[in-house]
Amino acid sequence: MVNHQDRLISAVGLSRYYSEHCAVNNLEVVLDKGEVLGLLGPNGAGKSTTMQMLTGNLAPSTGEIKINGIDLLDEPRKAKQQLGYLPEQPPVYRDLTVSEYLHYCARLRNVPAAQCRKAVDYASERCGLQAVSQRLIGNLSKGFRQRVGIAQAILHNPAVVILDEPTVGLDPIQIREIRSLIRELGKDHGIILSTHILPEVQAVCDRVQILNRGKTVFNGTLDGVESLEKVFFDLIFREEALSDAQQEVAA
């Protein structure tokens, strides 16, 4: 039985239209404390639009979003304090050192001045950045820049951390390190991970929600799923065939 006191995200009836195009259609997303949820789907499935709505960067056309019990639309500032977000392109300043950038982010997040150093040290340690703290971000590898992006997302110790395609473009060693970091963070935070990479979900997630054409086509744990790859492609092809058939009938 779900303890709703542990529910960190409750999003119901989410839809987003761009003119006549429906990018997200009546979506429900829930996340509990200590859970790593994988939002999985092909390109154009609605994952990034969903992430932007959950983080308050994009208003839904319909629906409601509660972050740790706080309505994101009614109290956006208060709700966003519960969130940490890493977009697909890390929001880093290449001409700052890692330490300078994280202190700057701490101030943006309203971390009290007396606690800034402690917050930066904590995030740096969690993300393995101590050895590069005085290096310019522009001189770091892409893997380390991703770590800096994750560090800025956890500086204020948010309840929820949302990561959009965190391993895209990384080499195999960097991917393994970032996945290990995500698993560690999942012990203390609720994590939503957006990806189109099947092994990523299998490696780090407790539950997967598969999206296609803005709709949920599967939502459940990986227990008992013998072949996630088969489930993924069967559901995607079935949904697309059904949609194509409906369009032919309408025509």
Domain boundaries, the chain: 91-157
Length of the chain: 251
Computed over every residue of the chain, the mean pLDDT equals 88
Least Cα distance to 137 among 153, 150, 149, 121 occurs for 149
Which residue do the tokens 């951390």 mark? 161
Per-residue pLDDT, 5 = 65
Per-residue pLDDT, 249 = 46
pTM for the model:
0.85
CA distance 14 to 221: 22
Beta-carbon contacts of 144 under 8 Å, excluding residues fewer than 6 positions away, are 129, 132
Question: Which residues of the chain fall below pLDDT 70?
Answer: 1-5, 224-251
